[in-house]
Amino acid sequence: MSPVAAAPARVSLLRYSPAFVLFAIAIADVLQHSGADLWGHVLWGRELLAHGSLPRGNPYSYSAPGFLWLRHEWLSEVIMAAMFDKFGPFGLKLLKFTCTAGTICFIVLAESEAAAPALVQAVILLVVALILAPVTQFRPQLFDFIALAAIIALLTRHNWRGSAPLWIAIPIVAVWSNLHGGFFIGLVAMGVYAATTVVSDILAGRGPRRGLGIIAITAAAAASTLCTFLIPPARDTWYALIHSILNPMTRSTVADWQPLIAALTSGNSGGVAKKYFVVVLFFFAAAVVSVVLRPKGADAPLVAVAAVMLAAAFTAVRN
């Protein structure tokens, strides 16, 4: 039996309760935190807009002048600079709100494909909004959230309807690879989904054709990231990404790369960070319990994607 035939009626919060979706967006966007690099991003974006390139060395560093300047977030910085120059601080807030709203809306679309009851979708969306609130800051990572949410929404639709315009992931990843190095997470999600779909369809007697098509699209999306080699500022994306993954100091010195449990145990007792990570752990635990209590074969590709993301959170990267 195909996933399409087994799928019950779908309920979307965008139609069922758009006010609640707006409420979730407001929660996820409520904190207006700016990282130490915010004005650096704006400045470097201005440099690129003005000159079309940046010097190889960093003229703004007093401690390491002339040291190799990595620009793996060049497009994010151009967008941030353009928004700030056009609208001032409001422009940055508008950009943050747009990315946050887009992320929440893609999550709502993904939830509706799973055909869960509206109340269940609302509870999950509220918890997700609370989890997103501390991390939706004025940083290039905003584009990671919205791009990954878009890809997950595509995969969810494909899983439950049997088809979806997955080719859209190709331009998404191509643009994403110029926004931030987190684009590889989207490729991992697509690759895991494709591999699991191949295995699931073979076991179900449907053959590997559907999964092989997803693998082809994933390969095309991966190839689209090579556009970074055509854009001088973007070539550093690969160096920054590979160096960060292989450098043993990354996980110990950069908070965003620390395993979830390490971040939880090292936080101040009773602090906001620990409360935040408790909510995250509760969310993960609830997801695991729901799969264990009501396993469905049709869920296997998406469960595999979730499992890989969960493993990454507990062992390596939370960025």
Instruction: For the chain, give the mean pLDDT.
Output: 82
**What is the predicted pLDDT for the residue at 288?**
78
Q: Measured in whole angstroms, how far is the alpha carbon of residue 102 from the centre of its chain?
A: 12
Q: Could you give the 3-state DSSP secondary structure of residue 317? A: coil
Asked whether the predicted pLDDT for residue 5 surpasses 60, the reply is: no
Q: Could you tell me the two tokens for 242? A: 């590979």
pLDDT, one tens digit per residue, over 121-173 is 999 999 899 889 888 888 898 999 999 999 999 999 998 888 889 999 999 99
Domain boundaries in the chain?
A: 3-7+14-315
> What is the mean predicted confidence (pLDDT) over 204-222?
89
Lowest mean per-residue pLDDT among 42-46, 201-205, 242-246 = 242-246
pTM for the predicted model, two decimal places: 0.84
Between CA 189 and CA 152 the distance in angstroms is 8
Asked whether the predicted pLDDT for residue 4 surpasses 50, the reply is: no
For residue 298, give Cα distances in angstroms to 24, 162, 309: 29, 10, 19
pLDDT, one tens digit per residue, over 13-31 is 888 899 999 999 999 999 8
End-to-end Cα spacing for the chain: 38
Q: 59: exposed, middle or buried (C-beta count within 10 Å: 0-12, 13-18, 19+)?
A: exposed
